[in-house]
Amino acid sequence: MKKTTDDLAINGGIPAFKKSLHVGRPNFGDRSRLIERINDMLDRKWLSNNGPYVQEFEQRVADIIGVRHCIALCNGTIALEIAIRALELKGEVIIPSFTFVATAHALQWQEITPVFCDIDPKTHTIDPVCIEKMITPRTTGIIGVNLWGRPCNIEALEKIAADHHLKLLFDSAHGFACSCKGRMLGNFGMAEIFSFHPTKFFNTSEGGAIVTNDDALAAKIRLMKNFGFSGYDNVVNVGTNGKMNEFSALTGLTNLESIEEFISVNRENYEAYRFELADIPGVSLISYDPLEKCNYQYIVLEIDESVTGVSRDQLVEILRADNVLARRYFYPGCHRMEPYRSYFPNAGLLLPETEQLAQRVLSLPTGTAVGLDEIREICQIIRLSVSSAFEINERMSGCNFIFEPYAAQRIETLPVALNV
């Protein structure tokens, strides 16, 4: 039977899904193999401090990417912080505002000023033309963010960095197993970082890594992630505790064995969303280059309210009522978060594309926890909302609609669900 707006949960209907569908629910590999490795770890009684599973994991990741060095770390944020310190960045570093706030915090934490740059609205990544306008005598580096697993304009960033003698680092938190012009992400700039957080398509339960082809930089990072120790009782450098533990590494090794399956499911889901959303006016799904390797881990829509008649925030609220926990990535932009909005209250004037995109982007559930039936139902809710925009607006204005992202109603709490 065809649904009407009365069937939408936000209008009092029964939620389409009994259990919440999250953006970024973890994928898991072979559980029996995982348990086998856990038992082996327990038998060894070696839980941390560069154990055999960490060493094996680092080698496997380096081999997959085709890079000389992989340094496994406790999470992606620490990876950023250590990479920034190892590169001796200071003063000002240019980054996009349209990114997870950890990119900015990793700088600010070390008293380095993040200078927010606008994006290319077609790619959602940092705009090289805008970078040129942001460079000052205090600028020491650029951090390019490879968003949604799609590379930014790496070639242009490399030229700008070379011309202005700036250090170039890439935040590839989304980019594991993706390529740029046939080369795997991880091979660009002076170093790149990955996140293996549970919300990523590939996870180590919690973790991250720095990858580089620079031997001296890799040696320095290895010292810094372990308090600066070089051998027993010999501290030769300032450092912190950024080590990955053995449980995270063995989880990563197990999940690496299923990585092609994860990517295949993500791609199937992406194609299903593309088919189901194709005829909905004002709703566009970002595209991925079919000639490049991609993990397809993000289903990202742009909502053109002037065409749909309903806003992105209204769609999020409608979906959440039906237990589809859609997300507003990366709303409202780092420049509108603290402490940056207090430091740079007028930054938005230089970030018009970022400001617009932050009002349009909507991310939907995918991964092994979502199947074709769920995707059809999700897209039906979006289609119904757009086709009945006038009625939706009247009803939502009548109930004083206010977007409250986490006040939600029937959410079974998942600790990782609200992280990026």
Q: Which whole-number Å values give the CA distances from 188 to 27, 152, 167, 331, in the listed order?
A: 27, 11, 12, 28
Q: CA-to-CA distance for 390 and 34, rounded, in angstroms?
A: 52
Cα angle 94, 98, 102 (rounded to 5 degrees) comes to 75
| Average pLDDT for 254-269 | 98
The two structure tokens encoding residue 9: 């949960």
pLDDT in the model for residue 300: 98
Tell me, what DSSP letter sits at residue 365?
-
Q: CA-to-CA distance for 326 and 328, rounded, in angstroms?
A: 7
| Average pLDDT for 121-142 | 97
| 395 — pLDDT class (breaks 50, 70, 90) | confident
- Asked whether 296 and 261 are in contact (CB, 8 A), the reply is no
Question: Between β-strands 21-22 and 324-325, what pairing exists: parallel, antiparallel or unpaired?
Answer: parallel
Phi, psi of 62 (to 5 degrees): -60, -40
pLDDT in the model for residue 396: 87
Domains detected in the chain = 5-25+259-326+365-398 (3.90.1150.10), 31-256 (3.40.640.10)
Nearest Cα neighbor of 318 from 375, 395, 374 is: 395
Phi, psi of 186 (to 5 degrees): 120, -15
Residue 179 scores a pLDDT above 50: yes
Helix (H, G, I), strand (E, B) or coil at 92: strand
Nearest Cα neighbor of 350 from 336, 331, 370 is: 336
| 397 — pLDDT class (breaks 50, 70, 90) | confident
Residue 417 scores a pLDDT above 70: no
Residue ranges in 239-351 assigned as alpha helix (H): 246-256, 259-277, 305-308, 312-321, 340-343
Other CB atoms within a 10 A radius of the CB of residue 383 amount to 17
Helix (H, G, I), strand (E, B) or coil at 208: strand
pLDDT tens track for 208-224: 999 999 999 999 999 99
| 398 — pLDDT class (breaks 50, 70, 90) | low
| 1 — pLDDT class (breaks 50, 70, 90) | low
- Asked whether 242 and 223 are in contact (CB, 8 A), the reply is no
Nearest Cα neighbor of 273 from 202, 363, 385, 150 is: 363
Burial 218-254 (b: 16+ CB within 10 A, else e): bebbbbbbbeebeeeeeeeeebeebbbbbbbbbbbbb
- Asked whether 362 and 316 are in contact (CB, 8 A), the reply is yes
Other CB atoms within a 10 A radius of the CB of residue 122 amount to 10
Strand partners, 72: 209
Phi, psi of 338 (to 5 degrees): -80, 145
- Asked whether 378 and 275 are in contact (CB, 8 A), the reply is no
Other CB atoms within a 10 A radius of the CB of residue 213 amount to 16
Share the mean pLDDT of the chain: 94
For residue 157, the surrounding DSSP H or E stretch is helix 154-164
Q: CA-to-CA distance for 156 and 351, rounded, in angstroms?
A: 20
pLDDT tens track for 276-292: 999 999 999 999 999 99
The two structure tokens encoding residue 14: 């029964």
As a whole-number percent, the residues of the chain with pLDDT over 90 amount to: 92
Strands (E), 102-250: 113-117, 139-145, 167-171, 179-180, 183-184, 191-195, 208-212
